[in-house]
Structure 1
Amino acid sequence: MCLSTTSRDASSAEPESFFRNTSRRWICNEDARFQEHYVKFNITELQHKAVETVNRPYCSQIIKMAEGGFNKVFLLTMDDGSEVVARIPTPIAGPRGLTTASEVATMRFLRETLHIPVPRVLTYSPTSDNPIARIEKKIFNFKFPAYGSLYHGHDIPKESRVDFEVDGGDFCIGPICKRQFWHGERADMELDRGPWTSPADCVSAPARRELACTSTFGKPRPRRAFLLPTEENIDPREHISLLSQYLQVAPFPVPAQQEMATPILRHPDLSFPNILLTPGTNKIEGILDWQDASILPLFMQAGYPAFCEHNYSQVQSLKEPNLPDNYGELNDVDRMKTDIKLQLEKANLYYYAATGLGMIQYLISHAGYPWDADLINFRAGLVGLTKIWDGLISDPCPISFSPDDDKAILNDATEWRECEEILLNIQENIGVDREGGTHPDDFEHVYEMAQRLRLQIYANAEEKLRKLFWKSWIFKDDAEPSRKEEDIIKVVNAEMLR
């Protein structure tokens, strides 16, 4: 969707549509999502900055080209037809200032030092005042002195950075700017955000962050996992206990091989939309969206890139993927796509099974999840680690679970994966992402499909579980008013008569 203004001075016509999200609608919690993606800025000043940067008389047009979860992208056309692309982060992109400063430093480092094809940064303000394999190999071969995020030295205080000498600019490693370390209350908390020189600190920092946050702000709440909700509240002390257990084992899974702890920079989302090709060829012109890129140990960064689609739930279970039941009914094009997807899923599964990194990365990621009362997978990850402990480490495991707990926890995890697969199918069938987002043109149809499906699930559930499932429907407003069960039944009956 492109929105534009063509005046030399847009001060009298700053369209609200530039500031709000116009490429997405949400079937639940829409007001909150719009607020997260709303960013107001001075369009005239943006035009003036672009004109000054490229030394042109004036900007004749500004167009909103695209927007995603964390940025809005604008195309500014000068009077002589030359073009400048400007990108403005949304409020949920990460820590103000650090997010932009780190991304710019990362792009300049890649372009000027490693000669990786990324767009040239003309100017920036950190404040509000195959070919891919060769590229990744080149980046992986550069040895950084610490873990964290990459910056220009002048953007970070000396006491908060690790300097290093390199051709092409003044770079340093400073505090990690990954969003998880700055989201919500965390932005105002005194947390260890690095830079770190020990891989053990990288493994434990996310858990220590969530331990501090849950201890301070965590409140009892029911679990809202799809098809696995609870009526009773779950105490955040359960999360605190699991985090404490994790911190007991966190130093041990760090591989003994020094090369596995090498500080590595990696693109955070190497998916097809972020890879620009020369039209009609496989030549890579540029790689976009380095926001949130971090330098972490190789054993935390290694894995298949995002463009190699795969089903993450299979990494947990090591269950080999299969062709879908309707494979024989697919046309030639869809069959080819399905074959490719299956091969990628198998390759990804074999990679994690062979390296053993899947379990470690899985556990580290769950230790960094915020308190939401859904502890099934975190608990299962800890059980899984105790199962493979003797094959990794000679020291006795400092945590343990009884055989009965083992069985119950792993059964819960299996049930969770089955429900997750159902949810993924629902998302695909009705056309929404995890937050209930869809294209504005499809909103009415998708919203109606979601409501109808919710009613069907309610009607088909066991009677004692109906009310619970209705309340825990994942695509509903958090502030949805409660409804009497007889009112729901009336709606269900009316729907069945349609």
Structure 2
Amino acid sequence: MEKNLFVIQLPANGSIYHKGFLDPGVRSVDIPQTNLSMPRFCVGPSTEYLWWYQQRDELSANRGPWHTSKDVLSAVGERELEWLQKFGCERYPREALYREFYGHQRVDPQVHIGYLLDYLKLAPHVVPRKYFCFRFGELTGIIDWEHATILPLFLQAKIPKHFQNDGDDESENFRPPKLRSNFDMLSDGEREYELEIYRRRQVHYFYVGFTDRHNKPHFNAMRKHNIVMRNRLYDTACRPWEGDNASLQAELISTLEQWEELAPEVVAPVQYSMEETKNCLARHAKQKEADLQMEQIRAFIGVNIEGWVPNGTFEEAKAKAEYIKNEMLNEVETEYERRELLEHWPFQDHEEID
């Protein structure tokens, strides 16, 4: 299916609509079809979830359709910039383990606004100079494509988030997944944890393998380091700000370090001092380590990053979370550490906007 989608060449970036669905005056670009006298489908504004998340539907940002890759890259930065200017306020990082890295203080969105402005300076220059070409296909119907989005290939050249197992050495080196040799000797909890790791490695491994076999243009694009780097910068810039003032700057720093490869004909429009770079990368490394710890805990509990669990495992997940909390409380050495752990325990009840 993915191979078939990749061969369809579409006239703009955005989302696909039936021509009669859009209100009068909404911008759209017709999708040519060879076997019909009149086009049935068009590309219109993006329906990607992030364009509607937390009042983003109230913004005046350009939702598409976008005719160029530069427009796509700029639009997401402008959207997040406008949202912060309109709704942003100081807050604690959503990820509880990050709070230590900010001195347990509320984080100022103005810092992230500055990095978004830096991103918008870089964005026009990071579009690849070479594009990947495909033969033409034809769109004949749409089935349940809610929130699906058309983007340039260099922004789609990645493993889908539900399949990727980034950060795992076995997956990133494309080693065939296998269970630990002593798997049968592990406890029930340890076996469950190992099976989850095994499942993630399998999904990652087979997606990459079958993409190599059936969709070479996508596979080749995924392997290019400079494409991966552009992808990460875009993904981080369009991510809603939730109290993280390190990740976007870290990606900007990474982009600047490779600037000669990305845009050799242009002087980099943004620079950071050595001290600022060092401090940012140190904090970012701590956040990545915290992400890994939280991923392992969530895998053990059986909860996703939003806190959702299947109905059938809710009580079991609660018991596992309580078990981990008690184990961590047994390890603390001071009353202050105990209070901090209880106050910022990530699996306690809280408002979703926190």
Q: TM-score range by the shorter chain?
A: 0.7 to 0.9
Per-residue deviation, 1:397: 1.0
User: Where do 1:208-227 residues align within 5 Å?
Assistant: 208-227=78-97
Q: Which has the larger radius of gyration?
A: 1
**Structure number with higher helix proportion:** 2
1:397-444 deviation per Cα after TM superposition (whole angstroms, max 9, x unaligned): 111222222222222222222221211111111221222222223222
Per-residue deviation, 1:465: 3.8
User: Where do 1:111-126 residues align within 5 Å?
Assistant: none
* Corresponding residue of 1:476: 348
Per-residue deviation, 1:356: 2.6
What's the TM-score, normalizing by structure 2? 0.79
* Corresponding residue of 1:486: none
* Corresponding residue of 1:162: 29
* Corresponding residue of 2:58: 188
Among candidates 460, 464, 470, match of residue 331 of structure 2: 460
* Corresponding residue of 1:328: 181
In structure 1, the gaps of 5 or more residues are 1-134, 267-286, 481-498
* Corresponding residue of 1:137: 3
* Corresponding residue of 1:405: 276
User: Where do 1:82-481 residues align within 5 Å?
Assistant: 135-156=1-22, 157-166=24-33, 167=35, 170-229=40-99, 230=102, 231-259=104-132, 289-305=144-160, 309-313=163-167, 320=173, 327-330=180-183, 340=202, 343=205, 352-394=222-264, 395-461=266-332, 463=334, 464-478=336-350
Per-residue deviation, 1:375: 2.4
State the secondary structure of the residue aligned to 1:478: coil
Compute the RMSD of aligned alpha carbons.
Answer: 3.7
1:159-204 deviation per Cα after TM superposition (whole angstroms, max 9, x unaligned): 5111233136511111111111112211222221011111101011
1:315-368 deviation per Cα after TM superposition (whole angstroms, max 9, x unaligned): 9xx97588999711125x969868745745987999745343222111111111
**Structure number with higher strand proportion:** 1
- In 2, the alpha carbon distance for the partners of 1:434 and 1:421 equals 12
Per-residue deviation, 1:227: 2.2
* Corresponding residue of 1:106: none
CA gap 1:444/1:219 in 2 versus in 1, 3 angstroms: same
Q: Which amino acid in structure 1 is aligned with residue 113 of structure 2?
A: I
- In 2, the alpha carbon distance for the partners of 1:473 and 1:264 equals 51
CA gap 1:138/1:338 in 2 versus in 1, 3 angstroms: closer
Paired-residue identity, %: 27
Q: Which amino acid in structure 2 is aligned with residue 136 of structure 1?
A: E
Per-residue deviation, 1:261: 11
* Corresponding residue of 1:275: none
State the secondary structure of the residue aligned to 1:429: helix
- In 1, the alpha carbon distance for the partners of 2:174 and 2:332 equals 29
In structure 2, the gaps of 5 or more residues are 185-193, 212-218
Larger relative contact order, structure 1 or 2 (CA cutoff 8 Å, min sep 6): 2
CA contact 1:145–1:263 (8 Å) conserved in 2:
no
CA contact 2:44–2:65 (8 Å) conserved in 1:
yes
CA gap 1:243/1:262 in 2 versus in 1, 3 angstroms: farther
CA gap 1:292/1:341 in 2 versus in 1, 3 angstroms: closer
